[in-house]
Amino acid sequence: MNNPLRRLWHHRLQKKLKTIELLVLDVDGVLTDGGLWFDSAGKLQKRFDVRDGLGIRLLQQAGLRLAFLSGGQGGATEVRAKQLEVEHCLVGIKDKPAALKQLQRELNIGKESTAFIGDDLNDLAVRDQIALLMTPADACQAVRRQADWVLNRRGGHGAVREAAEVLLQSRKGWDELRRRGWRDRND
Read off the pLDDT of residues 22-66 as tens digits, 9 standing for 90 and up.
999 999 999 999 888 888 888 878 899 999 999 999 999 889 999
Q: Is residue 166 situated within a structural domain?
A: yes
Structural domain boundaries enclosing 107: 23-174
- Is 12 within a domain? no
pLDDT digits (tens, 9 = 90+) for 126-140: 999 999 999 999 999
Domain annotation covers residue 88: yes
Q: How confident is the model over 139-157, as pLDDT tens digits?
A: 999 999 999 999 999 999 9
Residue 119 covered by a domain: yes
CB 1 within 8 A of CB 10: yes
**Is residue 31 included in any domain, yes or no?**
yes
Q: What is the pTM of this model?
A: 0.89
The arithmetic mean of pLDDT across residues 117-125, rounded, is 96
Number of domains in the chain: 1
Please check whether residue 186 lies inside any domain of the structure: no
CATH no. for residue 145?
Answer: 3.40.50.1000
Residue 185 lies in a domain: no
Q: Does 48 reside within a domain?
A: yes
Torsional class of 64: left (φ above 0), alpha (ψ -120 to 50), beta (otherwise)? beta
First-to-last alpha carbon distance for the chain, in angstroms, is 39
pLDDT, position 44: 79
